[in-house]
Amino acid sequence: MNDAREAWLAERRTGVGGSDAPIACGLHPYVSARELYYDKTGEAVFEREDTERMLMGRALEDTIADVFAERYGVRLRRHAMRRHPRYPWMIGNPDRLIEGARIGLEIKNVDALAYRFGDWGEPDTDEIPEPYLLQCLHYAILFDYPQWHLAALVGGNTLKRYIVRREPELEALLIDGEHEFWQCVERREPPDIDFERPGALALVKRLYPGTNGETVTLPDDIDHWQFVYRQSDELAKRYAASAEKAKAHILDVMGEASIARVPGGGEWRRKRVNNPGSVTQPYSYIDFRFSEKGGRQ
């Protein structure tokens, strides 16, 4: 990693950036506020590998910007890291600014299926996934611009524009959420773990990866979660046994057929999977699974 990127990453740790905004407010689907806290304080390091889509998005950023500029007849320019004069924790390094207009641009590479089945509405509206909405609003507040545009390259071949306009109520909530998070950073008090969100168990395991040989006595209020765990574990075993019994009934009727269509929709598929063996020993098994996409013909 070169010195310039190291300096940029160090500066990012001095505040809440645009992509941090939904995380700080607890509204990001994959990253929690606790993880962001450790990223800002350096108290723990969670390595997250970039996805192929993220890597391609960075590689295509200039191309998407060029196409956007040509299509909408605008000139774009970059801007260095900025800090809000009133809210010092609010920082940002936007993708582009539109010259001659108080409008910025966020650039996204969007998977076609994620676009089709995600929270995307008609172009030129603000109907975009909530994390992107908060990111654009963050930049609009930071630069005191009335609106922020988002250029979405969908499926690698379709460019769509969305427009996020400032809303006082949502703006106040975003500022308060970021401020509350940053106070945790300044006090070195990590935000509570949201145990309702997916990935909470994985986060706790990463926080405590080893053992130290000590014996501790848990507080009385842990009895509730001990009861929940035991009850849920028992129910999970019962449901798993019921599922196995149901599959046995279906497979018995299906016999050796490769595909069995269900009258109410969907289909079961059976196929042999062969592994010739490279590192492991050769093996073979029958894959048996249900698909919602199948149906009556």
Q: Residue 36 maps to which CATH number? A: 3.90.320.10
Residue 217 maps to a domain: no
Domain count, the chain: 2
Q: Do 231 and 173 share a structural domain?
A: no
- Classified as helix, coil or strand, 84 is coil
Residue 157 maps to a domain: yes
Q: Do 151 and 7 share a structural domain?
A: yes
Q: For residue 22, give the nearest of 154, 164, 124, 215 by alpha carbon.
A: 164
* Cα–Cα distance list, 122 to 113, 160, 163, 218, 264 (Å): 16, 9, 10, 52, 33
Give the model's confidence band at 99: pLDDT under 50 very low, under 70 low, under 90 confident, else very high: very high
**Cβ–Cβ under 8 Å, residues 259 and 269:** yes
Please tell me the least confidently modeled range out of 126-140, 202-216, 241-255: 202-216
Amino acid letter for position 144:
D
Pairing of strands 103-110, 147-154: parallel
Q: Do 168 and 57 share a structural domain?
A: yes
Q: Going by C-beta distance under 8 Å and a sequence separation of 6 or more, which residues neighbour residue 218?
A: none
Residue 49 maps to a domain: yes
Q: Do 122 and 168 share a structural domain?
A: yes
Write down the pLDDT at residue 274. 74
Q: What is the mean pLDDT of residues 20-31?
A: 93
Q: Do 234 and 124 share a structural domain?
A: no
Residue 132 maps to a domain: yes
Q: Do 262 and 192 share a structural domain?
A: no
Residue 12 maps to a domain: yes
Q: Do 268 and 201 share a structural domain?
A: no
**Cβ–Cβ under 8 Å, residues 120 and 78:** no
Answer whether residue 102 shows pLDDT above 80.
yes
Q: Do 124 and 201 share a structural domain?
A: yes
Which of 206, 237, 255 represents a domain boundary (last residue)? Answer: 206
Write down the pLDDT at residue 297. 41
Residue 193 maps to a domain: yes
Q: What is the pLDDT of residues 250-269, one digit of tens each?
A: 888 988 888 989 888 889 88
Q: Is 60 exposed, middle or buried (0-12, 13-18, 19+ CB in 10 A)?
A: middle
Structure tokens, 219: 């507080």
Structure tokens, 86: 């009133």
**With the C-alpha atoms ordered 90, 95, 96, 101, is the resulting torsion angle positive or negative?**
negative
Q: For residue 109, give the nearest of 49, 159, 162, 48 by alpha carbon.
A: 159
Answer whether residue 296 shows pLDDT above 60.
no
Answer whether residue 10 shows pLDDT above 60.
yes
Q: What angle do CA 99, 101, 106 make, to 5 degrees?
A: 75
Q: Do 111 and 242 share a structural domain?
A: no
**Cβ–Cβ under 8 Å, residues 174 and 137:** yes
Residue 93 maps to a domain: yes
Answer whether residue 194 shows pLDDT above 50.
yes
Q: Do 146 and 234 share a structural domain?
A: no
Q: Do 234 and 184 share a structural domain?
A: no
Q: For residue 164, give the nearest of 143, 134, 119 by alpha carbon.
A: 134
Residue 213 maps to a domain: no
**Cβ–Cβ under 8 Å, residues 129 and 114:** no
Which of 157, 175, 206 represents a domain boundary (last residue)? Answer: 206
Structure tokens, 242: 């019921």
**Cβ–Cβ under 8 Å, residues 24 and 178:** yes
Strands (E), the chain: 76-77, 82-83, 91-92, 96-98, 103-110, 147-154, 158-165, 259-261, 267-275, 283-291
Q: Do 261 and 189 share a structural domain?
A: no
Please tell me the least confidently modeled range out of 180-189, 205-214, 225-234: 205-214
Q: For residue 164, give the nearest of 131, 198, 190 by alpha carbon.
A: 131
Expressed as residue numbers, the domain containing 165 is: 3-206
